[in-house]
């Protein structure tokens, strides 16, 4: 399977990793250690000394394991005498970490279990979360996958409920679950949790963490031989690793890409990838990776017939694997060597090498069986001790439960009495409150009914008063209009008999204006009473305009106005009387407000469905804003009446005016009945 998930390339995200970057011994770290030792010598309290011991151990853990273990033991000895249990839990956790790095899993598990026991009295924080995560990793490394899975699943609900508090530990837990399910051949669940970790990593700002997550899920797809998916994730990881200068991740990415190329029989590309992996500077604990590169280089050269080059690479791999005492990979090297000797024609040596590889494989199988038996025996002894401890705890628990049961019975009797008294009091209060709310709701309903009746009565009175007012306006305007009409006829007869002087002409004009005003009041009153009958018909618009203009000719001559009107003989569908009132109102306003010597322009236009009249004057104008339909009551009574009559007539009324620049009024009617 090559550099698969179960061999080299499951990268730690946090758990047993102090950092995502490979540790290197630098002058800055030397300085930090010197400062910590100086602070340790100046510390006056045991708690400070214990803290400095553990900090020194953490700093030295990557490079000087013996010194790190020494300082951890010193810190633990001091922490045992202190009330601060967090320091003791941290010390045991660090000790378990170092034991794990030395592959002493039994000692690591013992130290971490002590750390977990001590940390139970602490609130759940990063210390406790780190201990639980490390426990699951040790169980998995021992091959106790079910126990590791149990630890992960027990802690998973809390991790997911408190994601902010748990921080990166949640991602580590997802990764552990993915690794464990992969070992258990439950690939669907392994993929699910590795993908969850990837999403979790994408939300964080830690690009190194994201790089490791991408590489892990890519290695998983490589393990299950889904090479297309594996290549996509590994290339993303490689891009980030190169940008962040993470040589370890870059190297592993090249190795995995080389293995993918080998499976696709792209041997030249595979060789280039493995050479790039070897060219990177790496740490002392990564010789296994170099040997693995040489092994795959030998396979590639063997596949393309470069037997001498394959022999050289194979020797390098064999020397390295023997040096690090890796029997598993030595067995793979021997199998490749057997194939190489066969191609060279040395069949006897090839057969001997093949037999040596098979013997080594059989010994590995036996060793694995012995390890499994030892693990089972260790688990059995541990479970027996745990059963003994749990039996003692059960006896103590039973005694406590008996005492608690007696106390509970006494307290229950007391609580029952209090409960009955409190219940009776609450019931009395509830009944009183319900009665009070009922009375209030009844009173509120009576008040609402009374107010509703008063509103209805006031509404009827207002409608009656409004109707009386409209009738009064109608009667008064009708009677006054009749009187003014009689007066106008008398003046007209007088004009037939003799020539009128200027005063009499002015009187005639005032009578016309008065009759015009009474017409407006009468039509408005009728429209309010809905007593106005609208009779629509086809009417020549130009004829109405000319008729209205002729009625104002005396006033036009008096003010020396220039009237511009080019009649177009078009018809509109309208009530003739209403149209005359509206046009007369608007032309009267234009004549009234246009200064002496001014100009009034009238224009008739038509479309396929409408006919319109535009009246433009050069008067002082009004502040009514931009061109828009007139809303509300207008700016004067004449405009108000005109608007309401146009609405009754099915037409449109628009006005645009600006102070100092005159007024433009546009009247529109439908051209025929179907165009309404």
Residue 571 has pLDDT above 70, yes or no: yes
Buried b (16+ CB within 10 A) or exposed e, 503-542: eebeebeebbebbbbbbbbbbbbbbbeeebeeebeebbbb
CA distance 220 to 214: 10
- The tens digit of pLDDT for each residue in 503-529 reads 666 666 666 666 666 666 656 555 555
pLDDT averaged over every residue in the chain:
78
Instruction: Give the pLDDT score at 469.
Output: 62
Buried b (16+ CB within 10 A) or exposed e, 337-353: bbbbbeeeeeeeebeeb
Computed from CA positions of residues 546, 551, 557, 559, in that sequence, does the dihedral angle turn out positive or negative? negative
* Percentage with pLDDT > 90 across the chain: 12
Q: Lowest-confidence range among 150-159, 170-179, 228-237, 386-395?
A: 386-395
List of domains in the chain: 533-675 (3.30.565.10)
What's the pLDDT score for residue 49? 84
Query: What average pLDDT does the segment 129-151 reach?
Result: 84
At 18, is the pLDDT very low, low, confident or very high (cuts 50, 70, 90)? Answer: very low
Taking the C-alpha atoms of residue 132 and residue 119, their distance in angstroms, rounded to an integer, is 10
- Does the pTM surpass 0.75? The reply is no
Q: How many CA atoms lie within 13 A of 496 on its CB side?
A: 6
pLDDT digit string, tens, across residues 45-83: 888 888 888 888 887 776 677 888 888 888 888 888 888
Contacts 24+ apart (CB under 8 A), 109-116: 109/135, 109/138, 109/139, 109/142, 112/138, 115/89, 115/90, 115/91
Calculate mean pLDDT across residues 206-212: 86
pLDDT band with cut points at 50, 70 and 90 for residue 236:
very high
Q: What mean pLDDT is predicted for residues 307-332?
A: 76
Where do we find the tokens 């740490």?
283
pLDDT digits (tens, 9 = 90+) for 327-381: 666 777 888 888 888 888 888 877 888 887 787 777 655 544 454 445 555 555 5
Question: Is it the case that residue 662 has pLDDT exceeding 70?
Answer: yes
Is pLDDT at 2 greater than 60 in this prediction? no
């Amino acid at each position: 399977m090559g550099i698969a998930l179960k061999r080299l390339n499951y990268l730690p995200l946090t758990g047993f990793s102090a950092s995502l970057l490979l540790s290197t011994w630098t002058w800055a770290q030397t300085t930090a250690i010197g400062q910590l030792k100086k602070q340790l010598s100046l510390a006056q309290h045991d708690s400070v000394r214990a803290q400095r011991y553990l900090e020194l151990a953490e700093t030295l853990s990557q490079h000087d394991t013996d010194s790190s273990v020494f300082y951890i033991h010193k810190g633990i000895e001091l922490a045992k005498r202190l009330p601060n249990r967090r320091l003791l839990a941290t010390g045991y956790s660090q000790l378990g970490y170092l034991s794990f790095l030395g592959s002493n899993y039994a000692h690591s598990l013992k130290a971490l279990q002590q750390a977990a026991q001590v940390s139970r009295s602490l609130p759940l924080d990063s210390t406790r979360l780190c201990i639980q995560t490390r426990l699951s990793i040790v169980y998995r490394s021992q091959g106790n996958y079910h126990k590791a899975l149990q630890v992960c699943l027990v802690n998973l609900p809390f991790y997911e409920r408190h994601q902010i508090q748990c921080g990166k530990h949640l991602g580590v837990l997802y990764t552990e679950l993915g690794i464990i399910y992969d070992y258990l051949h439950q690939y669907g669940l392994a993929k699910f949790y590795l993908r969850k970790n990837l999403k979790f990593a994408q939300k964080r700002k830690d690009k190194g963490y994201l790089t490791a997550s991408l590489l892990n899920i890519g290695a998983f797809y490589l393990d299950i031989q889904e090479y297309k998916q594996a290549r996509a994730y590994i290339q993303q990881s490689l891009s980030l690793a190169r940008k962040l200068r993470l040589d370890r991740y870059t190297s592993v990415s090249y190795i995995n890409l080389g293995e993918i190329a080998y499976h696709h029989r792209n041997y030249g590309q595979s060789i280039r990838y493995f050479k790039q992996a070897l060219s990177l500077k790496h740490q002392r604990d990564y010789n296994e990776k170099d040997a693995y590169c040489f092994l795959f280089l030998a396979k590639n050269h063997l596949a393309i017939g470069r037997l001498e080059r394959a022999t050289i690479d194979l020797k390098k791999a064999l020397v390295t694997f023997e040096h690090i005492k890796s029997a598993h990979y030595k067995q793979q090297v021997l199998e490749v060597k057997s194939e190489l000797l066969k191609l060279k024609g040395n069949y006897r040596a090839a057969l001997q090498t093949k037999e040596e590889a098979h013997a080594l494989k059989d010994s590995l199988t036996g060793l694995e069986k012995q390890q499994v038996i030892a693990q089972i025996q260790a688990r059995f002894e541990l479970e027996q001790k745990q059963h003994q401890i749990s039996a003692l705890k059960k006896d103590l628990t039973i005694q406590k439960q008996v005492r608690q049961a007696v106390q509970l019975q006494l307290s229950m009797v007391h609580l029952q009495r209090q409960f009955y008294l409190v219940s009776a009091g609450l019931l009395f209060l509830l009944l009183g409150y319900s009665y009070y709310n009922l009375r209030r709701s009844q009173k509120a309903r009576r008040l609402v009914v009374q107010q509703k009746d008063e509103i209805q009565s006031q509404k009827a009175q207002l409608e009656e008063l409004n109707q009386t007012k409209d009738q009064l306006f109608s009667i008064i305007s009708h009677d006054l209009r009749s009187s003014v009409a009689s007066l106008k006829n008398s003046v007209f007869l007088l004009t037939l008999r003799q020539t009128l002087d200027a005063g009499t002409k002015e009187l005639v004009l005032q009578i016309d204006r008065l009759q015009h005003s009474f017409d407006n009041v009468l039509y408005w009153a009728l429209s309010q009473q809905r007593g106005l009958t609208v009779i629509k018909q086809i009417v020549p618009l130009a004829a109405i305009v000319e008729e209205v203009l002729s009625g104002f000719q005396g006033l036009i001559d008096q003010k020396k106005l220039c009237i511009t009107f080019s009649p177009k003989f078009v018809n509109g569908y309208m009530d003739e009387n209403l149209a005359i009132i509206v046009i007369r109102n608007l032309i009267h306003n234009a004549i009234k407000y246009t200064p002496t010597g001014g100009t009034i322009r009238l224009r008739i236009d038509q479309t396929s469905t409408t006919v319109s009249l535009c009246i433009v004057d050069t008067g002082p104008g009004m502040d009514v804003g931009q061109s828009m339909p007139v809303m509300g009551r207008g700016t004067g009574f004449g405009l108000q009446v005109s608007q309401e009559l146009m609405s009754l007539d099915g037409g449109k009324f628009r006005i645009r005016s600006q102070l100092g620049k005159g007024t433009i009024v546009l009247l529109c009617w439908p051209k025929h009945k179907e165009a309404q």
